[in-house]
Amino acid sequence: MSATLMAQPAAALGEQDIALLFTADGASCVRHTTCYRFEMIQTVVVDVAEGRSANARDFVADKNVQASLPEQITLDTLGERAVKLICANKEYSVRYIVKESDPPRGTGRNVTAEIGTIPEPETLVECIEDASQVTVTYKKTPELVIAEVYRVVLILTDVWGNASEVEAFINVIPASDAPQFTGLEEMVIQLGDSIFFKEGVSAVDPQDGAVRFTVDAAGVDRNKLGTYTAYYSAADSDGNVTIVPRTIVVQGTPASVVESYAHSVLETIIQPDMTQDQKISAVYQYTASSIQYVGSSDKESIWSSAYQGFTTGKGDCYTYYAINKILLDLLEIENVEVKRVGGSSNHWWNLVQHQDGLYYHVDSCPVAVKVDSVNHGKMTASDLQVYTNDERVAARRPNFYVYDPDLPEYQDLLIAP
């Protein structure tokens, strides 16, 4: 007698009918029965931190199917573990992979390396803690071509793929057989000062002796406050190259330095027999004719802006205001700051007390539109309105001489109407 399936059962899980065809000596008959299809997982991954025992239901979740393990197994050892599974009266071989989920831990270690020599990443990490073997790689491999301190990030990865980051520093120094620089201490200059990059600096090679060097100072702006870096480069006859950074600090100018420039100006434009109004006019004329308008200036303080104007001969409206104020203060002539409100850009000028006791507006900054009736060296409140309301001015610079007269600094002033 032989038996065959009349049709293959469907691949779906669960119970289903099947038909069997029995044949013997030319006779045949059909009998119906049922089959039950279930899923068996061959490999199960667990975390060692769970601290649990093996369970047959990890492999066969269907409770309608009998499944058991012939022995008690505790999953407390990292790695792969083969397990015998009894399921539906048959023995199967399945396995656990016991892993950890905690990332490795370690401490960054600072090292020193010569230019062009990249340390092995594992030398930059110490005190590594993990239950499995850990590999160390650079998050981004550094290019150590300049003698400076580099911050690097190391990736610690265990065999399970858990990873963490560690920060370390590499102090890069010139190679022992390459040129060595001296005299590259931090340089501090005042805003606008000339910079003599090579003064007091030398490069000496162990074999060639003194060698020539170049300076890349493209990123240094002596007319703007800040901390910059210049790069010094030297090469010897063997092709060894040394590149070393130098910090350049451009700082604000002390008032005493600016006042020294201002006194020098006053000595040339002020005569002993001048009246107060003549002195004010001389200050106005000096600033208007000596400073070239460039549309920008250092506005950290009147001192830094005036210093820029005195030393470079350039600036914007704030520079004209700042120089006027400092010169007038040294002449002991009362004056206050005035600033535009409501316009499309900022604008500064001075409000100055003249010998008649009234305060007049003084603006040395050049203007694009001339209005014949307005003298910018001595303007009344009416003059400000005439100039501001001129249709040519309003089209180019709305609210040109509009300011807030209700501010406290103007309350006690007799402003010329």
Position 392 scores a pLDDT of 95
Q: Which of 269, 341, 262, 266 is nearest to 302 (CA)?
A: 262
Position 9 scores a pLDDT of 79
72: how many CB neighbours lie within 10 A of its CB?
Answer: 7
Residue 253 has pLDDT above 80, yes or no: no
CB 186 within 8 A of CB 246: yes
What's the chain's Rg over C-alpha atoms? 43
- For 76-92, the pLDDT digits (tens) are 888 899 999 999 889 99
Residue 5 has pLDDT above 90, yes or no: no
Quick one: pLDDT band at residue 15, thresholds 50, 70, 90?
confident
- For 321-369, the pLDDT digits (tens) are 999 999 999 999 999 999 999 888 899 999 999 999 999 999 999 999 9
CA distances from 175 to 44, 114, 236 (A): 54, 5, 12
What are the tokens at 109? 């270690």
Position 255 scores a pLDDT of 83
Which stretch of 36-50, 264-278, 316-330 has the lowest confidence by average pLDDT? 36-50
Mean pLDDT across the stretch 128-152?
94
Query: Phi, psi at residue 319, to the nearest 5°?
Result: -65, -45
Distance CA 53, CA 323 (A): 84
Question: What value does the mean pLDDT of the chain take?
Answer: 93
- CB proximity list for 219: less than 8 A, separation 6 or greater: 228, 229, 230
Distance CA 297, CA 155 (A): 46
